[in-house]
Structure 1
Amino acid sequence: MSSKPELFPAIGSVVEQTQKLPVEQQTVEVTLDEDRPVQEIESLCMRCEQQGVTRLLLTTIPYFREVIVMSFRCEHCGFSNNEVQSAGTIRPEGAVYTVHVLTRDDLDRQIVKSNTCTVSIPDIELTIPPGRGQLTTIEGLIRDIITDLGADQPLRRVQNPAAYEKIEGILKFCREIVPDDDENEDADENTPGPVKTPKKASELDHPMKPFTVRLDDPAGNSFAEFVGSMADPKWNMRTYHRTREQNIELGLVAPDEPAPEPPKVIEEEQIGGGLEGENEEIFTFPGTCSSCGHPCNTLIKKVNIPYFKDILIMSTNCEHCGYRDNEVKSGSAISPQGKRITLKVEDREDLSRDILKSESCGLSIPEIELVLQAGTLGGRFTTLEGILEQVYEELSEKVIAGDSAGNNDAFEKFLKKLKAVKNAEHPFTLILDDPLANSYLQNLYAPDPDPNMTIEMYDRTWEQNEELGLNDMKVENYGEDAQPVAKDGGAASKDAAPSPTKEPAPAPSS
């Protein structure tokens, strides 16, 4: 007795099964049969209002999830339409997929774009808003951009020349990536026989500028293909928590449902003596946005980290331009010594450690020759996995457009090493060096010593104090001159002989 076929078979097995069918069974037959991989249903054509055929394919994309691929075609007017919908549930978190297209082979990567996904290409400042779902490739996505934007270009040239020039620059960039069907040398109208398909963009020898494709789907139902494994240096995935507005757009929250009560906010005038209140209080300070100059507020919360000190978490969100910034600063006095933290990371459990990287802290991983100078990424309070993810995103987005664009092999090798470290595929060493001792790495064995972590306190050099502005800092007896500082970093002795003073000139004799 034969078993019932799988409801969502893998897409590769569907192709093999369809190719084995006789030719007469591959033609259109409007029917619903569970034994056939492709279901066919009569549907009304929205263009000519005649009956067309919709084909439904329930399939599974490897390393992704179940999807429904739909294809409609009307034999009367020739109208066709393709769409893909997720057959699973909305994911608990949104997802952002980033693909760095460095070579033409990357144009063959498959893309699943749901109807809630926003596609952007930052290199040409192009954003495709959510629309119909698609199962395509990066090359197919670029071809759709050329078709959609190029349709109304003659009209824009007359009505809106500025928009025409802007869109023409985008089309020029896209046409350099994919071949133009009209210039297909293999197609000849005067030659009888079947029309040959245009040459694939990945098979061309023309040079191509590298670019980045980013898929942002709050429902988490989109996907971008990686090559080999998830350690692919050109591919990255990041999840995030949805906002209330995104939950409303997805239909998960009713628009009239009351929002959760915001935390207690105390205005600057109510603080009085400073930030000496409870840790639960959030203070707000009015200011201006550094991006657009409009007024915006900065929220500050004081948090106590166990076995460390108090810190200040600051968050700025501009409602006018969308600029966002988060930063962490120390809420305690300046330490007399610097601190160097060394951690031997052995497995993924170490990636869950909380980490506070101040703006004066440098980070390095000797195994992959990664060195971040002080000030990079600013102050951050996150997990070790989170800080490595931020480093990966910053380097993969900014270095691709810089000097490494011409040295793709070295760039890919470094990103591959960084991704292996980010996923803790092998042991590595993390070093945090903070001259102000304002950085922190969670001790999983607290209050006992951590066998994998060493903390070293050291005296700052004169050059470090000078760079931090500590040599000229005076916090007591403000009316007196600051004590001179020796080259070795120590202050001059109070018992030292005073500097000679100039005697007053004698009064002239009468």
Structure 2
Amino acid sequence: MKRTTEPSEGPLQKRPNTEPTLSADDDVEIADAPTMSSTTQPTAQDSKDFFKPIGDYVADDDNAVAATTIDGEGTIAEREQKMVEEIPSLCMDCHKEGMTRMLLTYIPYFREVIVVSFSCPHCGNRNSEIQSAGQIQSKGCLYTVHVTNVADLNRQVVKSEHCTINIPELQIEIPPKKGQLTTIEGVISDTLRDLELDQPLRKHMQPEAYAKIEEVCNKLRDILGEDKPAEDAEVQDEEIGSSGLRSLGPVGASSSSMSAEEKANRKVPPFSIRLEDPSGNSFVEFMGDVYGKGMSDAKWSKRDFPRTKEQNELLGLAHTDATAADDVHTTGFDKNEGETEFDNEEVYTFAGVCSSCNAPLETRMKKVNIPYFKDILIMSTNCDNCGYKDNEVKSGAAVSAQGRKLTLKVEDKEDLSRDVLKSETAGFAIPEIDLHLSPGTLGGRFTTLEGLLQQVYDELSERVLMRGDSSTQASNFEGFLGKLKSVISCETLPYTVILDDPLANSYIQNPYAPDPDEQIVEEVYDRTYDQNEDLGLNDINVDNYMEEEDAAPATTTTTEA
């Protein structure tokens, strides 16, 4: 069992200095909580008594052992009854009576959860899951962790039944299923076990599918440090019979021949894992200062996002299209009714070809007017065949005669909610942390300042941390990412954000418009010859170009004569 020895004080109560946390290697057969009276409703104090950290359960069990030793009374079953509650349940495999155990516990710096474990003594069927004991959050969450060493594999993962796990480097997506309390290594082990389950059959029935899946399995084995099972191992598995299948999961024996020291010092192929949960009830453990809530961990990031209509329907928070047929005419707008103020809401689509897989797709384009600025065009491309996505922001106005440099002084966290338009020709810089992005980096973006900084962090972390051993300055770059996260969390204040756009197509929201904003300094300047050359403006002739067209045929006629 993995234990953390840092002092931990959660948002609900004071906890002991040493608190164990469950990992994928644990047999989750702890579950029984005090039962609530049917005549009384639980209060906030009762919630603390029911949902206690596992460290408190262990302390109570130690006290029960000491009391039994002194008094000579009580049994082990009575002590276990204080921790878990056992409920007889029907086994879905052999249809005989099994046992379900439940534990109401609290994960530090997260929330209350219910750990459920089922076991059948007749057929050996076992399964466990975790359920959220709290309410659905107001927003969904997206956790991203960059794994570069063995220690990152031991990060604790809480996966709800609505969570989708994605590993982009391996092109693996795990759809929502039952909740789990495990680690990143446990997620990889479960995926490898599921993929290996039908491989002997695919080898003979579908050789092409077998080869592709075996390639993914080899990458997963490299991450786990395991060797490929020998051919005779499959025969031994068949001879096991009713005693059970070989498991490569969290509770299975490793097939690696390395020693414990070699496993701790081995190299792990770098990859990233993403947990997207529209209910907001999933969690990935972060490293570093617990009071920073992950901001000091350069490999860990969390982003909250508003749920879509489809996600709300999936969670049961909104009516489906069939049940909300009466509400169709009450949403949207109709230009025939004279609602001309919604002209900018029209979305145009035009056919195209995916640049990744050459499959046909549609690109959507919408015109948006930014108050006190200009019109812009937002274009979005999404390929249903390969999943490729691309977003672009273009200017909907003429080329400006001069460039413009915007300097924003960020003084508090409220400034992160300002809308920011960064065109593809704008440079982005934060001098306090030595961040300088040349024009063209990230392309065009229309988002908030916090969203722009998060996109910069995601791009830099994926491009640098994922290089593995080829990057000799990875450790130094992790320190830079830590500074960037401190900027995003506003731990470093004040700091300066600079947008330098030679075409003056970038914009930072002024909440006091049309009055000037004291935190924004606007500087208008003339473009240099080199800037015009890079933008292709030196060869553009917009004055008297009709005269040149008329003169061209005359010159040709003279030459022929």
TM-score normalised to structure 1 length? 0.81
Per the alignment, residue 315 of structure 1 pairs with: 380
TM-fit CA distance, 1:151: 1.9
Percent identity, aligned pairs only, is 52
TM-fit CA distance, 1:348: 0.7
Per the alignment, residue 398 of structure 1 pairs with: 463
TM-fit CA distance, 1:80: 1.5
Pair 1:76 & 2:122 matched: yes
Per the alignment, residue 271 of structure 1 pairs with: none
CA distance in 2, matches of 1:469, 1:18: 76
Aligned pairs for 1:111-190 (under 5 A) are 111-178=157-224, 180=226
Contact 2:166 2:274 in 1 (8 A): yes
Pair 1:222 & 2:289 matched: no
TM-fit CA distance, 1:223: 0.9
Contact 2:361 2:384 in 1 (8 A): no
TM-fit CA distance, 1:384: 0.7
TM-fit CA distance, 1:129: 1.4
TM-fit CA distance, 1:406: 4.8
Return 172-181 or 455-464, whichever deviates more. Answer: 172-181
Query: Which one of 495, 498, 506 corresponds to residue 428 of structure 1?
Result: 495
Contact 2:270 2:467 in 1 (8 A): no
Name the aligned partner's letter for residue 352 of structure 1: S
Distance 1:179 1:392, change over 3 A: closer
Query: Which one of 242, 251, 255 corresponds to residue 316 of structure 2?
Result: 251
TM-fit CA distance, 1:371: 1.6
Pair 1:13 & 2:56 matched: yes
SS of equivalent residue, structure 1 residue 355? strand
TM-fit CA distance, 1:459: 0.9
CA distance in 1, matches of 2:263, 2:221: 15
Write the deviation string for residues 444-464 of structure 1: whole angstroms up to 9, x where unpaired. Answer: 443443332211111101111
TM-fit CA distance, 1:18: 3.5
SS of equivalent residue, structure 2 residue 441? coil
Query: Which one of 204, 210, 213 corresponds to residue 273 of structure 2?
Result: 213
Return 112-121 or 74-83, whichever deviates more. Answer: 74-83
Return 396-405 or 239-248, whichever deviates more. Answer: 396-405
CA distance in 2, matches of 1:201, 1:42: 43
CA distance in 2, matches of 1:282, 1:50: 60
Write the deviation string for residues 279-301 of structure 1: whole angstroms up to 9, x where unpaired. Answer: 53424142314344414142322
Aligned pairs for 1:267-282 (under 5 A) are 279-282=343-346
Aligned pairs for 1:49-128 (under 5 A) are 49-128=95-174
Write the deviation string for residues 247-281 of structure 1: whole angstroms up to 9, x where unpaired. Answer: 23223333412375675699xxxxxxxxx996534
Pair 1:456 & 2:520 matched: no
Distance 1:363 1:239, change over 3 A: same
Distance 1:128 1:405, change over 3 A: farther
TM-fit CA distance, 1:112: 0.6
Distance 1:39 1:179, change over 3 A: farther
Distance 1:408 1:265, change over 3 A: farther
TM-fit CA distance, 1:438: 1.0
Contact 2:333 2:342 in 1 (8 A): no
Contact 1:97 1:238 in 2 (8 A): yes
Pair 1:417 & 2:483 matched: yes
CA distance in 2, matches of 1:26, 1:145: 41
Per the alignment, residue 25 of structure 2 pairs with: none
Distance 1:160 1:238, change over 3 A: same
SS of equivalent residue, structure 1 residue 140? helix
TM-fit CA distance, 1:358: 1.1
Pair 1:22 & 2:65 matched: yes
CA distance in 2, matches of 1:208, 1:298: 41
Aligned pairs for 1:325-404 (under 5 A) are 325-402=390-467
Name the aligned partner's letter for residue 81 of structure 1: N
Contact 1:279 1:302 in 2 (8 A): no
Contact 1:210 1:405 in 2 (8 A): no
CA distance in 2, matches of 1:26, 1:363: 68
Aligned pairs for 1:198-209 (under 5 A) are 204-209=264-269
Name the aligned partner's letter for residue 541 of structure 2: K
CA distance in 1, matches of 2:497, 2:90: 62
Query: Which one of 489, 508, 513 corresponds to residue 441 of structure 1?
Result: 508
Q: Which runs of 5+ in 2 are unaligned?
A: 1-44, 69-73, 230-250, 550-554
Distance 1:200 1:144, change over 3 A: farther
Contact 1:93 1:242 in 2 (8 A): yes
CA distance in 2, matches of 1:20, 1:200: 34
Name the aligned partner's letter for residue 281 of structure 2: N
Contact 1:337 1:437 in 2 (8 A): yes
Contact 1:72 1:81 in 2 (8 A): yes
Q: Which runs of 5+ in 1 are unaligned?
A: 184-194, 267-275, 483-500
CA distance in 1, matches of 2:186, 2:262: 12
Question: Higher helix fraction: Structure 1 or Structure 2?
Answer: 2
Name the aligned partner's letter for residue 97 of structure 1: Y
CA distance in 1, matches of 2:302, 2:261: 25
CA distance in 2, matches of 1:93, 1:168: 38
Return 22-31 or 129-138, whichever deviates more. Answer: 22-31
SS of equivalent residue, structure 2 residue 523? strand
Name the aligned partner's letter for residue 11 of structure 1: I
Distance 1:243 1:201, change over 3 A: farther
CA distance in 1, matches of 2:419, 2:122: 63
TM-fit CA distance, 1:346: 1.9
TM-fit CA distance, 1:101: 0.9
CA distance in 2, matches of 1:441, 1:260: 36
Name the aligned partner's letter for residue 335 of structure 1: S
Per the alignment, residue 286 of structure 1 pairs with: 350
SS of equivalent residue, structure 2 residue 546? coil
Write the deviation string for residues 453-488 of structure 1: whole angstroms up to 9, x where unpaired. Answer: 211111101111111111121223222349xxxxxx
Contact 1:103 1:210 in 2 (8 A): yes
Distance 1:146 1:286, change over 3 A: closer
CA distance in 1, matches of 2:106, 2:423: 45
Per the alignment, residue 241 of structure 1 pairs with: 306
Contact 2:354 2:383 in 1 (8 A): no
Write the deviation string for residues 364-414 of structure 1: whole angstroms up to 9, x where unpaired. Answer: 111222121212222222211111111112222232233775543123112
Larger Rg: 1
SS of equivalent residue, structure 1 residue 456? strand
Name the aligned partner's letter for residue 288 of structure 1: G
SS of equivalent residue, structure 1 residue 89? coil
Contact 2:85 2:103 in 1 (8 A): yes
CA distance in 2, matches of 1:218, 1:278: 30
TM-fit CA distance, 1:220: 1.6
